[in-house]
Amino acid sequence: MTGRRAALAAALATPLLLPALRRATAQGAASGFPSRPIRVLVPFAPGGQSDTVIRLLAPKMGEVLGQGLVIENRPGGGGSIAGGVVAGAPADGRTLLFDSFGFLIIPFLVKGLSYDHDTAFAPVGQAVSAPYVLVVKKALPPRTLTEFIDYAKANPGVTYGSPGTGTVGHLAGALLASRAGIQLEHVPYRGGAEAARDLAAGSVDCAISTANSLRPLIEDGRGVGIALTSGERRGTLANLPTIAESGFPGFDLTSWNAMFAPAATPAPVIEKLEAAMRAAVQDEATRQRLILAGNDPSAEGAAAFAARIRREKEVVARIVRETGIKAD
């Protein structure tokens, strides 16, 4: 009977002990974190927006964390390949995803994901926001958005490159085509740098990507800046008009770059990562480099960024319904 009473007492005590055990486990995980370099997956090719931003943040983040960040480019699948690796990684904060606004679009366009996109990730925080810009190749006649739309109406099937399926560039092109009544043909790349390269070579008619990728073409005359996708003029290309002010009020698609960890990563670990990223964004030297690359540093924490994701996901769902956008 004594053994039975002991077993019963242990069973009754277990539900009371579990929260304390979880807290102790989380605190233990955070106290020794990070004990080795942190792997950060970027779902785009080297040289593009997301890759550039995390490489600017990495030195200061590594200094704060006491461990280096190892950047790994895993392009493809609209970001779902890199996302799948992180979603399946141990929830210990040592494998992270550094993504863009396209993160919100993946579940609408990429079918048969190997993970539940809505529950697989824990937001760490947003680092920057960045408008996209529509740039046409030098040989194309348009110099304003009105001229571009007139040209597209007279030449159905104008091609536009973007950093990939499901990115802001992809979505912005589809939304502009829908609202302007024109036919544009999407050409997805593995990153903004590759789209910029082909635009400079004249392989695509235009591209919609970040200032980081396309501003050099505007500055050296290999491309012509037409309009920004953001609701207001901002960033290093604030001299260009917005699509909204060029005849499409309410048009506002602004990208961001942010960090995600696997779901169930202990809160103390998330807090350490969030603090390191905030320190990097607020570091004056890093901040200036981010601005020169066409970004608006934001340092939005995990809770505020999670709320942003919920709001913007509804916007994406509405645009997907309006445009009928599909994966290429």
DSSP string, 260-282: EEETT--HHHHHHHHHHHHHHHH
Average pLDDT over residues 103-108: 91
Note the pTM of the prediction, 2 decimals. 0.81
Average pLDDT over residues 94-99: 98
CB 98 within 8 A of CB 257: yes
Average pLDDT over residues 149-172: 94
Better-scored residue on pLDDT, 8 or 103 = 103
Torsion of CA 226, 232, 234, 239, to 10 degrees: 40
Domains in the chain, please, with CATH?
38-129+255-323 (3.40.190.150), 131-246 (3.40.190.10)
pLDDT tens track for 223-237:
999 999 999 998 889
Extract the runs of DSSP E, i.e. beta strands, from the chain.
38-42, 69-73, 95-100, 121-137, 158-162, 184-188, 206-210, 223-228, 254-262, 296-300
With bands split at pLDDT 50, 70 and 90, how would you rate the model's confidence at 22? very low
Backbone phi and psi for residue 255, each to the nearest 5 degrees, phi listed first = -85, 170
